[in-house]
Structure 1
Amino acid sequence: MAPCAAAILMALAAPAAAQNEDALRSFFEGKRVALKIDMPGTSDGVDVRPDAGRALDYRQYGDRLKTYGVALRAGDSAAVTLVKVKKDLIEVQLSGGGFGTFRDDSSSSVSIPSVQKSDREKELEKSVREETDPRRKRELREQLEDVRNRRERENRRIDVERIWAEERKKERIAWERLHGGSRFNLRYSGAVPAGIRPEEVMAALAEYVDFSAAGLETRTEDFLPDAAAADSRLSPGNLPRKGMTRAEAEREFGSPTEVSDHREGGLAVTTLVFVRDEQRIATEFVEDVMVRYTITSK
């Protein structure tokens, strides 16, 4: 591509991205939504890959919850405080966006300088080295020991103060992590789709966020593959749904024909398989809440 043409494309792409961001910010910011999953107390947030076969890496998700704690819990209401569109990423920040941004002091270290040798101590060291009279040398050495001991006692006190200050700072950081909000990162392979609509963002987050609290609704089947959308139209109300409890699933589909457990990161995942008519319904639950399902013909 000629340099001139590349420059023109870049010039056109920047305003388009800005328009996307402006439209999404206008639509989402200030709205309150309800969360369906726990959110980690970090600006790393939760990564969701809408165009991947598996949108959420539960191992990574579990690790972040374990490392940073839970800032927002499933069922909590949170305000959308900022939406940012980057090359291949849409950030949906909630209640501040999470602790760990450039404005946050995330270091637990505290700098309290130790007391260095005073001029008096240095003079005494020199005098002890140069003194030839044994009695006088002993007196100077005693004075030096006294000055040195005072300095070392003060440094031990400073060490204790530093430890206490660092513990207090760790507690403050932990508190700020749990009160600093979190975020979703919608990560796309290549680039954010041109002209992406708010409805598409809601569809990508529908498994994790309830937008009805903000008076927003989206038909997520409009953005599903054709087969899945067809299934949802064929038997509304009788299909599994993400967020369904295990008890609800067993009432709807009967006793499972297969049950198994495995771990994904820090999460315990239970797989239940139901058979109904000519359909095999494989479902996965975390803490008895459905997070994934597939429907295949027998």
Structure 2
Amino acid sequence: MFISARVHNAGVAAAAIVVAAAAPAAAQSEAALKTFFEGQHVTLRIDMPGTSDGVDVHADAPRAVDFSEYRDDLKKYGTAIRAGDTVTVTLVKVKKDLIEFQLAGGGFGTFGDDTSTSVYIPHVDKSEREKGLEKRVKEETDRDRRRELQRDLDELRERRERENRRIDIERERAEEKKKERIAQKRLEGGSRFNIRYDDRMPPGMRPDDVMAALAEYVDFTRQAFRAEVAPSGEGPAPAGDITMLRKGMTRGDAERAFGRAIEASQRTAAEVSITTLVFVVGDQRVSADFVEDVLVRYTITSK
């Protein structure tokens, strides 16, 4: 029992260390991603819906985007950013199992945005006079007098109902105008990508990982990103010796040997996530496939 307790306590302590280390690591990843992306410009390859729900990109799934849901969102919310538009990355936020990549404001519908199309204009309630007349009509025994009271009651009731019909028309008009305002705000509010992971975000996320996850939907190559592109704006300066290329080398080793990749993309084959990086080494172009940051295949072509 004593040994079991010690083993249990050791396991609890180890778990606590992992949890304690996870938060700073996530914070460091977020800080690095924010520094790299925020304020930069990217060009969209697809239309983006005008909602803060954005487009979900499931990084671990064989099919990253549910295009049926995507089409429905475009119909429902309209297009805030069109394919080919260049916009600013306004916020990158790292959560437990996703990365929010917000564009041109992140999409209408965030905290503080009024998304309701309803307009409240209350109906006119029965007045005390109308209620009193209803009571007197019920209690009056004289036929002629009851007829007079009923006529007064009908006139009062018709006046109230006429006013409520006017209010209904005014409410419908106000709601139509509000729908138009919200639709316009959706078109002006930007959008976002939500890069989602099955369980939790992999540790040590780098800008290249984000660009690889979004490569099919965002064109990063047209823009000069800080610390990634040479001052000439033509991409990273070629580096290294092509003879250093070998299967089994890590992604970090490849980047140190050949410089930053000029292109990055990601795909899934047989439930395996493959990241493809393209390097320029001298007058040659290297396309390298990495699985879990290990080089498994490459091709070399002339520029």
TM-score (norm 1): 0.73
Q: Which residue of 1 aligns with 2:93?
A: 84
Structure 1 position 55, deviation (Å): 2.2
Gaps of 5+ in 1: 238-298
Structure 1 position 48, deviation (Å): 1.3
1:51 matches 2:51: no
Structure 1 position 98, deviation (Å): 0.9
Give the 3-state SS of the residue equivalent to 2:145 in structure 1: helix
Q: List aligned pairs for 1:174-193, cutoff 5 A.
A: 174-193=183-202
Q: Which residue of 2 aligns with 1:33?
A: 42
- Once the two structures are superposed, what CA deviation does each residue of 1:224-272 show, in whole Å capped at 9, x if it has no partner? 44699846x34467xxxxxxxxxxxxxxxxxxxxxxxxxxxxxxxxxxx
> Partner amino acid for 1:141?
Q
Q: Which residue of 1 aligns with 2:219?
A: 210
Give the 3-state SS of the residue equivalent to 1:214 in structure 2: coil
Change (3 A) 1:132 1:107: same
Give the 3-state SS of the residue equivalent to 1:186 in structure 2: strand
1:96 matches 2:114: no
1:112 matches 2:116: no
Change (3 A) 1:172 1:229: farther
1:145 matches 2:142: no
Change (3 A) 1:235 1:54: farther
2:79 to 57, 70, 79: 70
Q: List aligned pairs for 1:230-245, cutoff 5 A.
A: 230=297, 233-235=299-301
More moved, 193-202 vs 102-111: 102-111
Q: Which residue of 1 aligns with 2:22?
A: 13
1:131 to 140, 150, 154: 140
Q: Which residue of 1 aligns with 2:206?
A: 197
Give the 3-state SS of the residue equivalent to 1:128 in structure 2: helix
CA contact under 8 A between 2:92 and 2:99: conserved in structure 1?
yes
TM-score (norm 2): 0.72
CA contact under 8 A between 2:42 and 2:87: conserved in structure 1?
yes
Change (3 A) 1:236 1:125: farther
Q: List aligned pairs for 1:241-280, cutoff 5 A.
A: none
Distance 1:44 1:150 in 2: 46
Give the 3-state SS of the residue equivalent to 1:100 in structure 2: coil
- Once the two structures are superposed, what CA deviation does each residue of 1:177-210 show, in whole Å capped at 9, x if it has no partner? 1111000111112211111111111121122112
Distance 2:296 2:79 in 1: 34
- Once the two structures are superposed, what CA deviation does each residue of 1:73-107 show, in whole Å capped at 9, x if it has no partner? 01101111110101110010001111122322111
Give the 3-state SS of the residue equivalent to 1:92 in structure 2: strand
Q: Which residue of 2 aligns with 1:154?
A: 163
Distance 1:75 1:194 in 2: 32
Give the 3-state SS of the residue equivalent to 2:221 in structure 1: helix
Give the 3-state SS of the residue equivalent to 1:212 in structure 2: coil
Gaps of 5+ in 2: 1-7, 230-260, 265-275, 278-287
Work out the number of aligned pairs and report it. Answer: 236
C-alpha RMSD of the superposition: 2.2
Change (3 A) 1:206 1:236: farther
> Partner amino acid for 1:26?
T
- Once the two structures are superposed, what CA deviation does each residue of 1:84-143 show, in whole Å capped at 9, x if it has no partner? 101110010001111122322111111111111000100111111111122211111111
Distance 2:302 2:200 in 1: 34
Distance 1:80 1:106 in 2: 23
Structure 1 position 4, deviation (Å): 4.5
> Partner amino acid for 1:209?
V
Change (3 A) 1:43 1:165: same
Using the aligned pairs only, state the percent identity.
61
Distance 2:46 2:224 in 1: 20
